[in-house]
Every structure is written in C-alpha cells, then in structure tokens.
Amino acid sequence: MARRQTTREAKKQKDKWKSKEWYSIIAPGLFNRAKIGETLADDPSKLLGRSVEVTLQDLTGDFRMMHIKLKFKIVDHSTSEAFTRYLGHDLTSDYIRRQTRRKRTKMEGVFDIETKDGYKVRLKPMAISDKRIQASVQYEIRKRMKDIVYEAGATHTFSELTSLVLTSDRDRALISSILQGCRPIYPLKRVDIRRMEVLSTPENPDDSPMVSSEPVPEDKPLAEEDAIEGKVGNTDE
C-alpha cells in the first residue's frame, strides 16, 4: 500500500513539473531590457510580485561593480517573458566592512527625495574619512551631502538619477559631486551610495511595460521548486 502511494505521489510531482513553462526575466528599459535570468511557472499570473536580485557586474560585465546588488520585482508578463521594475540597490556587507577600518570615521545619511518625474526615492550615502574627525565636522558633511542629494533629485528624472548613482564613471557619478562638495569642509577618502530605495512611483511611469491588466501582488519569494538559472536570486517574504 505504501509503495502504491509513493508511486502516485511521484507521478503527481512529475505532472506538476510538466505543466510549468520557462519565462525569461527582463530588466526594465533603464537597463536596456537585458535578460537577467529565467524562472518557471505553471500560471503566468503567479510570476507577478516575485522579487529578483542580480549584481551590477552581471549586467555590465564590470567586475568593479560586483559589490552592488540590484533589486527588481516582476510586474508584468507576456507569453514567454516576465517584465520587471527596478526597486533599488544595496551594497554587500563585506564591501562595507572593508571600507570601515580602525581610526576612520563613517558618516551616513538617510534622505527622501522626489525626482522631476514624480518618483519618491530614499538615498543613503556613506562617507568615510581617513582619520577620526570631530562631531561638528561630521554634522557639516552630512548637511552638505543632504543639499547635494536633494539638488540631484530636483534637477534629474528617475532614470537620470539612477544613472548618476550606478555609473562606473567616477567623474559623472553622484559620489563625485559629494566628494567635491565636501572637500572644503574635510577631504573624504571615499563616498558610496550605500542604498537606493524606490518608495513610490507615479501613476503611469514611463518605464513600465504593462501588457496585462492584472494587479501586482505584494513581494513574494520564488517557490522552492521554481528554479532560477544563473544570476537570479530571491528575497524573503
């Protein structure tokens, strides 16, 4: 009896896999609609709300960007593709630990800004000095960082701001503006945007390929059996 039951369960599991199809996960237009992985689903509506994570190195091929983790959420689908929306980025914890050594001062800020096209974004810049500095100097540096970040948000669209944050060209990056702006106060050793988080989007964002009219559910992790190929990971509920 037990053997018959085991056979039935194995057959049921096999049939479940047969009903699934592969979908290519596509990054938004900001990232040239690059393919960032693949996932399985027996119903395309189950793709909506799944969270996906890749490194910037995976998209650009630049190994210097391997410490930047990009986050996306599937918001739409076609017959064979799942389209995503950019949620923001984080720096890896080991990268942050390497920057914050003894006898250095780490200064962080949390700034909520609104871009020209109506996106509300939270930026968390991180500045590091080569020596320990006084609290009054740290206050002036944070104040200057806030002014620069707010100005960047007010004068750029979301797409432009994201490019300023993620670009590998140090001369055009937002971190370069912070380094130069804080130099009269104290010459910083390094500046990074530790985190970028999209708080809200306009009603009809330009970079949103909405093919279907199904509502997008809250973020949900990929099911254990929905294997991801290559670069794609999942986040917790």
Enter the pTM of the model. Answer: 0.78
CATH hierarchy code of domain 93-200: 3.30.479.30
Cα–Cα separations (whole angstroms), residue 94 to 67, 90, 101, 230: 8, 12, 12, 22
Instruction: Give the model's pLDDT for residue 114.
Output: 95
* Structure token digits, residue 7: 């056979």
Instruction: Give the model's pLDDT for residue 173.
Output: 87
CA 114 centroid distance within chain? 18
Place of tokens 């994570």: 53
Taking a C-beta distance cutoff of 8 angstroms, is the pair 81, 41 a contact? no
Which H or E element spans position 162? helix 158-166
Instruction: Give the model's pLDDT for residue 9.
Output: 61
Instruction: Give the model's pLDDT for residue 227.
Output: 34
Instruction: Give the model's pLDDT for residue 226.
Output: 40
Question: For the chain (length 237 residues), average pLDDT per consecutive 10?
Answer: 56 66 92 92 88 92 92 92 95 90 90 94 95 94 96 94 87 89 93 94 65 48 38 35
Place of tokens 């109506």: 118
**What single-letter DSSP state applies at residue 80?**
S
Instruction: Give the model's pLDDT for residue 231.
Output: 37
Instruction: Give the model's pLDDT for residue 172.
Output: 75
Instruction: Give the model's pLDDT for residue 163.
Output: 93
Taking a C-beta distance cutoff of 8 angstroms, is the pair 95, 202 a contact? no
Instruction: Give the model's pLDDT for residue 78.
Output: 87
**Nearest Cα residue to 79 out of 26, 138, 33, 124:** 26
